[in-house]
C-alpha cells in the first residue's frame, strides 16, 4: 500500500507537491473514481491509477497482464468483434498484444507499448518458453509423448522444436513450447491423433498468470515482474 501522491511521484510523473496539486484539481482517478485526497492509500500492484485518461505505471512503458477470456480476438481493432482491448477500461492507445492467442484460447496475454521487449519475447531466436494447460479429446500414448519431446512433425514440411510435456491424466496435460507457430498446440495434438478441447496459457518466459485474476480481468505488472522481463532485453 502507498499514498496516492507518493505513487505519482514514484512513477516519476510529478514531484510530490505537483502530485498533490494534480489530485486537488481532480485529475487523478483510482479504479474509475476521482480521488481528491493525496493521502488516499492505493495498492500499487492492483489499483488502476489514471492521470486524466492515461494509465500511470512505474516504468516508462506500460505492461499489462490480461487473463484473456474465450470469445475475444487478439487484434488491435475490430468493428464487429470483441477484442482484447474491450477488456481494458482505459485508453489503450499505443498498446499492443505480445503474440496471439486464438479466439477460443484463454489465459496469459501480455499487453504493452514496449516494442523492444515484444520483439525479444516473440523472436524465435530467443526461445522463450510458453506453457499451456491443455485438455484433449483422446489420451496420448507413450509414442506421442516421445514424438513431442523429440520434435513433432505437424505436417509434411513443418517440424516443431522439442517441447516439454507433463501428462496430468488421460485428458489433460501441461505443454511447454518455445515457438509460436500458427495454431501450434492444436496442430501438435492433432498430429497425436487427438484434438484440443480447452486451451489456456499459464506462463510466458518469467511471467506466470496470476491465479487471482479471474477470466477477463487484468492488472499492471508488478515492479519485480517488469524487472524480470527487462532482464531478457540484455
Ligand atoms: N497454440 C494454439 O493452437 N492456439 C493458441 O491460442 C496458442 C497456442
Question: To the nearest 10°, the Cα dihedral for 166, 167, 172, 173?
Answer: 10
Same domain, 7 and 50: yes
- Identify the CATH number of the domain in which residue 214 sits: 3.30.70.580
Same domain, 151 and 195: yes
Same domain, 148 and 189: yes
pLDDT tens figures, 113-129: 999 999 888 887 888 99
Are the C-beta atoms of 194 and 138 separated by less than 8 Å? yes
The residues annotated as belonging to the active site are 102
Predicted local distance difference test score (pLDDT) of residue 139: 98
pLDDT tens figures, 174-222: 999 999 999 999 999 999 999 999 999 999 999 999 999 999 999 888 8
Same domain, 188 and 78: no
Same domain, 133 and 186: yes
The number of distinct structural domains making up the chain is 3
Nearest CA residue ID for atom 7, ligand 1: 101
Give dist(CA 36, CA 21) in Å, integer.
Answer: 10
Give dist(CA 30, CA 216) in Å, integer.
Answer: 19
* CA–CA distances in Å: residue 163 to residues 14, 103, 174, 208, 209: 47, 23, 10, 18, 20
- Identify the CATH number of the domain in which residue 163 sits: 3.30.70.1560
Q: Cell digits for 178?
A: 518455445
Same domain, 164 and 108: no
CA of 183 to the centre of ligand 1 (A): 5
List all residues whose CB is within 6 A of at least one atom of ligand 1.
101-102, 105, 183-186, 199
Burial of 173 (0-12, 13-18, 19+ CB in 10 A): buried
pTM recorded for the entire structure: 0.84
**Of 60, 119, 102, 109, which Cα lies nearest the Cα of 87?**
109
Same domain, 190 and 215: no
The boundaries of the domain holding residue 75 are 63-123+210-233
* Residue labelled with grid coordinates 482491448: 85
Mean pLDDT within 160-178? 97
Same domain, 146 and 198: yes
Predicted local distance difference test score (pLDDT) of residue 88: 86
Amino acid at each position: 500500500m502507498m499514498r496516492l501522491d507518493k505513487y505519482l511521484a514514484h512513477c516519476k510523473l510529478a514531484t510530490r507537491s505537483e502530485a498533490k496539486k494534480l489530485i486537488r484539481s481532480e485529475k487523478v482517478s483510482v479504479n474509475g473514481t476521482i480521488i481528491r485526497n493525496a493521502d488516499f492509500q492505493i495498492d500499487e500492484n492492483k489499483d488502476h491509477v489514471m492521470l486524466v485518461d492515461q494509465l500511470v505505471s512505474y516504468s516508462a512503458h506500460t505492461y499489462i497482464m490480461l487473463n484473456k477470456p474465450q470469445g475475444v480476438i487478439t487484434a488491435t481493432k475490430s468493428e464487429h468483434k470483441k477484442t482484447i482491448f474491450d477488456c481494458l477500461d482505459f485508453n489503450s492507445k499505443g498498446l499492443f498484444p505480445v503474440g496471439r492467442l486464438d479466439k477460443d484460447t484463454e489465459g496469459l496475454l501480455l499487453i504493452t507499448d514496449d516494442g523492444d521487449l515484444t520483439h525479444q519475447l516473440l523472436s524465435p531466436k530467443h526461445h522463450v518458453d510458453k506453457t499451456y494447460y491443455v485438455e484433449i479429446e483422446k489420451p496420448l500414448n507413450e509414442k506421442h509423448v516421445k514424438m513431442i519431446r523429440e520434435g513433432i512433425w505437424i505436417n509434411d514440411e513443418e517440424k516443431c522444436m522439442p517441447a516439454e510435456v507433463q501428462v496430468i491424466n488421460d485428458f489433460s496435460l501441461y505443454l511447454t513450447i518455445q515457438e509460436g507457430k500458427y495454431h501450434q498446440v492444436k496442430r501438435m495434438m492433432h498430429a497425436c491423433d487427438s484434438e484440443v478441447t480447452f486451451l489456456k496459457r499459464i506462463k510466458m518466459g518469467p511471467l506466470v498468470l496470476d491465479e487471482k485474476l479471474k477470466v477477463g480481468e487484468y492488472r499492471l505488472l508488478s515492479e519485480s515482474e517488469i524487472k524480470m522481463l527487462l532482464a531478457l532485453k540484455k
